[in-house]
Amino acid sequence: MTTVLEAELPTQAATQCTLDNYLELPDASMDGRIAAARAKLGKQAIILGHHYQRDEVIRFADATGDSYKLSKIASQAVGKYILFCGVHFMAESADILAQPHQQVILPDLNAGCSMADMADISQVEACWDSLTAAGLTGAEAGGLIPLTYMNSTAAIKAFCGERGGLVCTSSNAAAAFRWAFARGQRILFLPDQHLGRNTAHALGLAPQEMVVWDPYQLQGGLTPERLRAARVILWKGHCSVHQRFLPEHVDLVRAKIPGVQVVVHPECRLEVCQKADVIGSTERIIRTIEEAPTGTSFAVGTEIHLVNRLGKRFAPLGKHVITLDDAGCLCTTMFRISPQHLAWALENLVEGTVVNRIRVSDDVKHWARVALDRMLEIRG
Ligand code: SF4
Residue 10 CA to ligand 1 center (angstroms) comes to 37
The answer to whether residue 371 is domain-embedded is no
pLDDT tens-digit readout, 219-267: 999 999 999 999 999 999 999 999 999 999 999 999 999 999 999 999 9
Q: Domain containing 267 — which CATH number?
A: 3.40.50.10800
Same domain? 132 vs 187: yes
Cα–Cα distance measured from residue 156 to residue 89, given in angstroms and rounded to the nearest whole number: 11
Cα–Cα distance measured from residue 352 to residue 349, given in angstroms and rounded to the nearest whole number: 5
Same domain? 149 vs 96: no
> What is the three-state SS of 147-162?
EEECCCCHHHHHHHHH
3-class secondary structure, 349: helix
- Which residue minimizes the CA distance to atom 1 of ligand 1? 331
DSSP code of residue 219: G
Of 239, 257, 280, which residue is a domain's last? Answer: 239
The answer to whether residue 328 is domain-embedded is no
Which domain does 198 fall in, by range? Answer: 116-239
Cα–Cα distance measured from residue 127 to residue 133, given in angstroms and rounded to the nearest whole number: 10
The answer to whether residue 329 is domain-embedded is no
Same domain? 216 vs 261: no
Residue 302 CA to ligand 1 center (angstroms) comes to 10
The answer to whether residue 346 is domain-embedded is yes
CB neighbourhood size of 377 (10 A): 9
DSSP code of residue 310: H
Residue 243 Cα distances to 13, 206, 301, 333, angstroms: 44, 21, 10, 16
Letter for the amino acid at 147? L
The answer to whether residue 377 is domain-embedded is no
Percentage of the chain surpassing pLDDT 90? 85
pTM, 2 dp: 0.90
Cα–Cα distance measured from residue 176 to residue 377, given in angstroms and rounded to the nearest whole number: 10
Q: Which atom of ligand 1 is nearest to the CA of 87?
A: 5
Domain total in the chain: 3
Concatenated DSSP letters of 360-372: --HHHHHHHHHHH
Cα–Cα distance measured from residue 288 to residue 250, given in angstroms and rounded to the nearest whole number: 18
**Mean per-residue pLDDT pooled into runs of 10, the chain (380 residues):** 37 62 91 96 96 94 90 87 96 92 96 96 97 88 93 98 95 95 96 98 97 97 94 98 97 98 98 98 95 98 96 98 91 94 97 96 96 84
- Which residue minimizes the CA distance to atom 3 of ligand 1? 239
Q: Name the residue among 48, 155, 103, 72 with its Cα closest to residue 373.
A: 72
Helical H segments across 315-361, by residue range: 339-350
Cα–Cα distance measured from residue 258 to residue 265, given in angstroms and rounded to the nearest whole number: 21
The answer to whether residue 373 is domain-embedded is no
Cα–Cα distance measured from residue 237 to residue 197, given in angstroms and rounded to the nearest whole number: 12
* 234 Cβ neighbours under 8 A, 6+ residues apart: 189, 193, 196, 197, 210, 211, 212, 213
Same domain? 80 vs 185: no
Same domain? 103 vs 217: no
Same domain? 234 vs 122: yes
Same domain? 303 vs 340: no
- Which residue minimizes the CA distance to atom 8 of ligand 1? 113
Cα–Cα distance measured from residue 319 to residue 84, given in angstroms and rounded to the nearest whole number: 31
Name every protein residue with a CB atom under 6 angstroms from any ligand 1 atom.
52, 87, 113-115, 151, 239-241, 303, 331, 333-334
Residue 8 CA to ligand 1 center (angstroms) comes to 39
Range 209-233 burial, b when 16+ CB lie within 10 A, else e: ebbbbebeeebbebeeeebeebbbb
Same domain? 120 vs 107: no
